[in-house]
Amino acid sequence: MDPILTTNILNVVYEVSTLAVVVLGLAVVFGLLGVMNLAHGEFVMIGAYCAFFVQSENLPFLAAVPLALLVCALLGLVVERVLVRPLYARPFDTLLATWGLSMLLREAVEAVYGRGFKSVATPLTDSVDVLGAGYPAYRLLLTAVSIALVAGLVWWFVRSATGRRIRAVVDNPELAASVGIPVTALARNTFVFGCCLAALAGVMLAPLLPVNPTLGLDFILKSFFVLVVGGLGSLVGLISGSGVIGGVEGVVSAVSDRTWGYTTVLVIAILFLWLRPNGLFPRT
C-alpha cells in the first residue's frame, strides 16, 4: 500500500477514535441528565494541564492520569451539587451556568499558568512501521487505547446492572425512582464520570497539543458537532457522529489543510441542524 495513503488512513482512524473519547463524557451527561455541559472542554483542558504539571515536577507521565481523575472528580462533585443539580429541569439556565463556569475555569488556569502555550513531552518518541509507512508510536497507542475505552464503556453500558439502571432513568426517571433506583446519586455519579472522561482525554492528548487555557473551546465545538450529526443521547449516534466529523476533518485536512477541514465539518453541522435536526440516530 502507498505509504502516504496508509498514513492518511491512520490519521483518520486516530481523529475518529480520540474524538469519540472526548465526546463520550458529554454524551453520557446529556443522555441521562439532559444537561449540555458547556464547560466540558475545560475539563479536557484541566486534564492537559495535569499532564503538564506532572512533567514539570519530573514525575512519570502516567502519574497525570490519577491526578487528573482526582482533580476533576472533586471539581465535578462540587459543580454538580452547587451549580447543576438545582437547574436539572431548566436546560437553558444550565447552558448559561456551565458557560459561565467554562469562563471561570479558563480565567483560573490563566491566573496560575498565564496565557502562553505549554508543551508536554511525548512519552513514546519512536515510529512504528505500518505497511511501509512510519507512524508515531504514541499516536498508534492512543488510537488503540481510545478504541478499547469506547468499546469497553459501550459494552459496560449495555451489559451491566448500572447501565440498565441508567437506561431506566433516561426512559422514565419517575418510574425508576418509584422502584428504588437512586436517581439523585446516579445523576451525580454520571456527571462526575463525564468530567473524569474529559480529564482522561485531556491527559491522553496533551503531548500532541499546545496546552493553553483556551484549549477546551475547540473540543466543545467539535463535541457539539458530533452530537448534532449523530443524534443527541444515543451511543450509536455518538459513534456515527464521531466517524462523520472526525473522518471528514481528517480527510479534508489531509487533502488541503486543517482550516478547510474545520470549515467543512462546520458546514456539515449547519446542514444537519437545518435538514436533519435530530441527527442520524435520534433517541427514541
Give pLDDT, residue 212: 92
pLDDT computed for residue 234 by the predictor: 64
Q: What are the tens digits of pLDDT across the range 235-271?
A: 677 778 888 888 888 788 777 777 888 788 888 888 8
136 three-class SS:
strand
Q: Which residue has the higher pLDDT, 158 or 17?
A: 17
What pTM was computed for the model?
Answer: 0.88
How confident is the model at residue 270, as a pLDDT? 84
What CA–CA distance (Å, rounded) separates 128 from 143?
13
Measure the CA–CA gap between 226 and 220, rounded to whole angstroms. 10
* CB-based contact 253:10 (threshold 8 Å): no
For residue 256, the model assigns a pLDDT of 75
CA distance 107 to 198: 19
Backbone angles phi, psi at 165, to 5 degrees: -65, -40
pLDDT > 70 in the chain, percent: 95
Beta strands in the chain (DSSP E): 127-130, 133-136
φ, ψ (nearest 5 deg) of residue 108: -65, -45
Q: What pLDDT score was predicted for residue 232? A: 67
Predicted confidence at residue 206, as pLDDT, reads 93
Query: Lowest mean pLDDT: which of 52-66, 84-98, 126-140, 164-178?
Result: 164-178
Q: What is the dihedral of CA 249, 255, 257, 261, to 10 degrees?
A: -20
Q: Residue written as cell 464547560?
A: 39
Helix/strand/coil for 131: coil
Residue 127 β-bridge partners: 136
Instruction: Please say if the pLDDT value at position 93 is more than 80.
Output: yes
